[in-house]
Amino acid sequence: MKTGVSKDDRARATAALIGYAHRAAPKLVIKAAGGQLDKCLMVLSKLAFEEYCRSAATTSDCRDCGGQGYLVERRQVVVYPGYVSAFDGEEKIPPRYEL
């Protein structure tokens, strides 16, 4: 975080960003947010301010791995769900799985 940014400055900047977001929000964002537009714009404004305040010297650990690197996990996934006939309920094509 940049030095010299007080909590009051942070609150004013976030409020200004929220006001700008209300004026400039695309119609698809408004439609996707539904009744939660204010919360959505608040989150986006806070993220924008935090991104602005970061510098090249800022360090932080990943939330998922805690700074340890990538976590490798293998899972079996459905590549094709198969086909069951609507007429007789019989499985015509079995599902296909891959690792």
The residues near 1 (Cβ < 8 Å, ≥ 6 apart) are 50, 53, 54, 58
Q: Look at residue 68 in the predicted model and tell me its pLDDT.
A: 78
Q: Look at residue 74 in the predicted model and tell me its pLDDT.
A: 82
Q: Look at residue 15 in the predicted model and tell me its pLDDT.
A: 92
Query: 4 or 18: which carries more pLDDT confidence?
Result: 18
Mean pLDDT across the chain: 83
> Hey, where are the domains in the chain?
7-53
Contact 79, 96 (CB under 8 A): yes
Residue 55 has pLDDT above 60, yes or no: yes
